[in-house]
């Protein structure tokens, strides 16, 4: 399948990652069991934006994130990422597009019994021939990308450690490095800090903000805590029952806006606390290291 | 996590109320099944003709044969016994390797999410069919083709190994965490890349442990296989038992037991190191 795209990598020597935009038109996701994940959503996200997506569980924010890299397919409507029609992509083309979209999960999803390096090199799978990956013979350039990605999240020291021996926050940073090693145009994060304690959560959110600001990558983060959503996103999208009920600047979203998104009064359980409540101006929190 | 425990705490000074548990559930089938099993066991006992009078002599007989075998074992036969035991272990080793080579790809094809459904059903059927047949029966069947050689024993062990290793393998594959697999999908990995970097890093310690365990089983089974004459320590044991040379039988049994237990202990220790060792450290 040929696409009109200036940044389509012609081979291994892909140019520096150019951020991708996302364009959804009347996108509906209906699961086989009849549950509607997304209900006729139209949404434009510009290249290089940092977007927080909030909503209660079941509001469709996971469906939205997973639709964008094709882990969930649209029942109707269209989805463009960059200049590519994601909703039409199948097989090899779909895998190639996924290779340009990094994803970060709530549960880190690392293979615990192998090394940090092998986990980060998963980010190079779509950019490497199957034969090479089966025997683990990655090219020097791919290894170099993995080291650089680990360095960016401060985990280069742990490159030969087993992933399972790291703390939760360290594992999530390795997962971020795995996404960065893809040289992605978009990074998606599905509740990336829901399994972490507050200081670690701020550190990981800080990492995500840094890759958005320094690398210009489009970043979409699912969150349910409103101080994190306000503090780290530039734009806030609120989802309720599969529909967009709020779309505006993150910093100026009021508690009333959140009550409308959640459909209930907000309370302490909707806040993480710590550095982010006034984070619109605060410097990125960075923890040099944390106890294993 | 930020949700603090808002549940009201019961006060310790509250007046003690008598606590009544819910009525214990009664299952009438329990009684029926218990009675049925008891009756069956008694009936089976009555149906088997046992010459109870002879069992009176049993302890004395056992003691007599133990005395014949172990009072003065024929130590001069030990070198020959060790040599034959080595041949048995070779049989076990070759059978194990063949079983691994064949079962390894098959267990992936038999796993849900990797192999197509028809292939899966055929392979799983094959695995259980093989497991239903003891090694010695397989050996007797292939005996007609390969003759009374250690190769027959090795092949029988290999075939049986495919049944067990194949089943353990696909169960291990299906038991891995879905998270790393999802991560490989999300990064654009293909089916075989998913197997290699999503599944294999999780399942490999279990596979290696199964392989070692299968070797242990084969060492024990290879002695038994010798009984039909394919060579090794079992063969030697049968011959000397038929000639009623009890001191030699005693020496052979001592060698077999020591070698088997030594291999079991070594392999078992390595397996524990592979599976539990890493887990214990993961918790730290």
Is residue B55 within 8 Å of residue B203, measured between CB atoms?
A: no
- Using a CB–CB cutoff of 8 Å, tell me whether B273 touches chain A: no
**Residue found under tokens 């425990």:** B5
Closest by Cβ to A111, choosing from B2, B198, B282: B198
Q: What is the DSSP letter of A137?
A: -
Is residue A166 within 8 Å of residue A190, measured between CB atoms?
A: no
Closest by Cβ to A182, choosing from B2, B187, B201: B187
**A225 interaction partners in chain B (CB closer than 8 Å):** 2
**B204 interaction partners in chain A (CB closer than 8 Å):** 113
Closest by Cβ to A109, choosing from B183, B192, B193: B183
E strand spans, A47-149: 50-54, 76-81, 84-85, 101-104
Closest residue on chain B to A107 (Cα): B179
Alpha-carbon gap, residue B192 to A219, rounded angstroms: 29
pLDDT in tens, A159-204: 898 888 888 889 999 999 999 999 999 999 998 988 888 888 898 9
Closest by Cβ to B187, choosing from A98, A110, A165: A98
What does the H/E/C string look like for B114-158?
CCCHHHHHHHHHHHHHHHHCCHHHHHHHHHHHHCCCHHHHHHHHH
Q: Which helix (H) or strand (E) holds A268?
A: none
Determine the average pLDDT of the residues in B140-154.
85
* Number of Cβ pairs < 8 A linking chain A and chain B: 99
% of residues, chain B, pLDDT over 90: 33
Question: What pLDDT score does A288 carry?
Answer: 45
Judged by CB atoms closer than 8 Å, whether chains meet at B197 and A107 is answered as: no
Judged by CB atoms closer than 8 Å, whether chains meet at B185 and A271 is answered as: no
Q: Which residues pair with A12 in a beta bridge?
A: none
Long-range contacts made by residues A94-98, C-beta under 8 angstroms, separation at least 24? A94/A70, A94/B188, A95/A126, A95/B188, A95/B189, A95/B190, A96/A126, A96/B188, A97/A69, A97/A70, A97/B188, A98/A69, A98/A70, A98/A126, A98/B185, A98/B186, A98/B187, A98/B188
Task: Look at B15-19, B30-34, B137-141 and tell me which has the smallest mean pLDDT.
Answer: B15-19
* C-alpha closest to that of B223 among B176, B257, B189: B257
pLDDT in tens, A98-131: 999 999 999 999 988 889 999 999 999 988 888 8
Helices (H) and strands (E) in chain B, counts: 13, 0
Question: What pLDDT score does B241 carry?
Answer: 87
- End-to-end alpha-carbon separation of chain B, Å? 22
Q: How far is CA A39 from CA A77, A233, B12, B181, in A?
A: 10, 24, 51, 28
Q: Which residues contact A148 (CB under 8 A, 6 or more apart)?
A: A180
Q: Which residues pair with A239 in a beta bridge?
A: A244
Question: Is B79 exposed, middle or buried, given 0-12, 13-18 or 19+ CB atoms closer than 10 A?
Answer: exposed
Confidence of residue A6 (pLDDT cuts 50, 70, 90): very low
Question: What pLDDT score does B168 carry?
Answer: 94
Backbone angles phi, psi at A275, to 5 degrees: -70, -20
Domains, chain B, with CATH or none: 74-283 (1.10.3720.10)
Confidence of residue B10 (pLDDT cuts 50, 70, 90): low
Runs of H (alpha helix) within B175-199: 178-186, 191-194
- For the four alpha carbons of A251, A257, A262 and A267, in that order, the dihedral sign comes to positive
Determine the average pLDDT of the residues in B147-166.
89
Question: What pLDDT score does B13 carry?
Answer: 58
Judged by CB atoms closer than 8 Å, whether chains meet at A103 and B186 is answered as: yes
Which residues of A lie inside 8 Å of B (Cβ-Cβ)?
A: 69, 71, 94-103, 105, 107-114, 118, 121-123, 125-126, 130, 133-134, 162, 164-165, 175, 178-179, 182, 197-198, 225, 268-269, 271-273
Q: Is the pLDDT of residue A151 over 70?
A: yes
Closest residue on chain B to A194 (Cα): B1
Closest residue on chain B to A102 (Cα): B187
Alpha-carbon gap, residue B114 to B279, rounded angstroms: 27
- Using a CB–CB cutoff of 8 Å, tell me whether B259 touches chain A: no
**B180 interaction partners in chain A (CB closer than 8 Å):** 109-111
Q: Is the pLDDT of residue A42 over 50?
A: yes
Confidence of residue B278 (pLDDT cuts 50, 70, 90): low
Judged by CB atoms closer than 8 Å, whether chains meet at A112 and B202 is answered as: yes
Summary mean pLDDT of chain B? 85
Judged by CB atoms closer than 8 Å, whether chains meet at B187 and A123 is answered as: yes
Alpha-carbon gap, residue A8 to B80, rounded angstroms: 71
Tokens linked to B19: 């606590």
- Using a CB–CB cutoff of 8 Å, tell me whether B281 touches chain A: yes
Tell me the shortest Cα–Cα distance from A130 to chain B, in angstroms: 7
Closest by Cβ to A271, choosing from B2, B183, B202: B2
Query: Degrees (nearest 5) of the Cα angle B81, B82, B88?
Result: 90
pLDDT in tens, B213-226: 999 889 888 888 88
Query: Degrees (nearest 5) of the Cα angle B16, B19, B21?
Result: 170
Determine the average pLDDT of the residues in B199-223.
89
Is residue A256 within 8 Å of residue A238, measured between CB atoms?
A: no
Q: Which residues pair with A78 in a beta bridge?
A: A25
Mutate to test the interface with A, among B176, B180, B182, B205 (most CBs of A within 10 A): B180
- Using a CB–CB cutoff of 8 Å, tell me whether B196 touches chain A: yes
Question: What pLDDT score does A291 carry?
Answer: 44
Confidence of residue B1 (pLDDT cuts 50, 70, 90): very low
Question: What pLDDT score does B120 carry?
Answer: 93
Mutate to test the interface with B, among A107, A111, A127 (most CBs of B within 10 A): A111
Task: Look at A170-179, B7-16, B90-99 and tell me which has the smallest mean pLDDT.
Answer: B7-16
**A271 interaction partners in chain B (CB closer than 8 Å):** 2
Question: What pLDDT score does B115 carry?
Answer: 85
């Amino acid at each position: 399948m040929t696409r009109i795209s200036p940044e389509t990598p012609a081979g291994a020597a892909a140019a520096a990652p150019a951020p991708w935009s996302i364009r959804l038109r009347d996108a509906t996701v209906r699961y086989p069991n009849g549950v509607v994940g997304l209900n006729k959503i139209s949404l434009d996200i510009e290249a290089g934006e940092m977007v927080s997506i909030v909503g209660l569980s079941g509001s469709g924010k996971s469906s939205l994130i997973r639709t964008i890299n094709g882990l969930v397919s649209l029942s109707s409507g269209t989805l463009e990422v960059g200049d590519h029609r994601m909703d039409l992509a199948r097989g090899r083309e779909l895998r190639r597009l996924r290779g340009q979209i990094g994803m970060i999960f709530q549960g880190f999803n690392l293979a615990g019994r192998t090394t940090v390096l092998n986990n980060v090199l998963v980010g190079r799978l779509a950019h490497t021939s199957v034969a090479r990956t089966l025997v683990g013979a990655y090219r020097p350039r791919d290894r170099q990308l993995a080291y650089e990605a680990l360095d960016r999240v401060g985990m280069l020291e742990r490159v030969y450690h087993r992933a399972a021996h790291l703390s939760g926050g360290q594992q999530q940073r390795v997962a971020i490095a795995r996404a960065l090693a893809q040289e992605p145009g978009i990074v998606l994060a599905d509740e990336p800090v829901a399994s972490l304690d507050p200081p670690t959560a701020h550190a990981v959110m800080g990492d995500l903000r840094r890759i958005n600001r320094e690398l210009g990558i489009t970043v979409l983060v699912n969150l349910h805590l409103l101080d994190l959503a306000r503090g780290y996103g530039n734009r806030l999208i609120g989802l309720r029952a599969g529909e967009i009920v709020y779309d505006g600047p993150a910093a100026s979203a009021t508690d009333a806006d959140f009550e409308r998104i959640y459909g209930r009064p907000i309370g302490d359980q909707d806040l993480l606390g710590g550095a982010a409540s006034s984070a619109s101006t605060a410097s990125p929190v960075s923890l040099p290291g944390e106890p294993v | 996590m930020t949700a603090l425990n808002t549940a009201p705490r019961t006060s310790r000074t509250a007046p003690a109320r008598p606590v009544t548990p819910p009525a214990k559930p009664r299952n009438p089938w329990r009684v029926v099944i218990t009675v049925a099993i008891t009756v069956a066991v008694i009936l089976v006992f009555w149906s088997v003709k046992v010459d109870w009078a002879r069992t009176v002599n049993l302890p004395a007989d056992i003691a007599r044969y133990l005395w014949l075998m172990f009072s003065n074992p024929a130590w001069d036969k030990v070198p020959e016994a060790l040599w034959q035991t080595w041949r048995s272990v070779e049989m076990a080793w070759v059978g194990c390797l063949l079983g691994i080579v064949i079962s390894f790809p098959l267990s992936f094809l038999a796993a849900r999410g990797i192999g197509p459904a028809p292939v899966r059903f055929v392979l799983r059927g094959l695995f259980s069919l093989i497991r239903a047949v003891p090694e010695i029966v397989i050996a007797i069947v292939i005996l007609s083709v390969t003759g009374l050689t250690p190769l027959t024993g090795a092949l029988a062990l290999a075939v049986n190994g495919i049944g067990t290793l194949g089943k353990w393998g696909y169960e291990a594959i299906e038991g891995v965490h879905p998270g790393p697999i999802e991560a490989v999908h999300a990064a654009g990995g293909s089916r075989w890349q998913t197997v290699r970097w999503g599944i294999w890093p999780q399942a490999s310690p279990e596979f290696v442990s199964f392989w070692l365990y299968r070797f242990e089983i084969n060492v024990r089974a290879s002695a038994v296989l010798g009984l039909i004459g394919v060579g090794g320590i079992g063969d030697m044991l049968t011959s000397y038992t038929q000639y009623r040379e009890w001191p030699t039988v005693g020496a052979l049994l001592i060698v077999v037991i020591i070698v088997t237990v030594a291999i079991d202990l070594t392999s078992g220790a390595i397996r524990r190191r592979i599976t539990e060792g890493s887990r214990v450290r993961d918790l730290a």
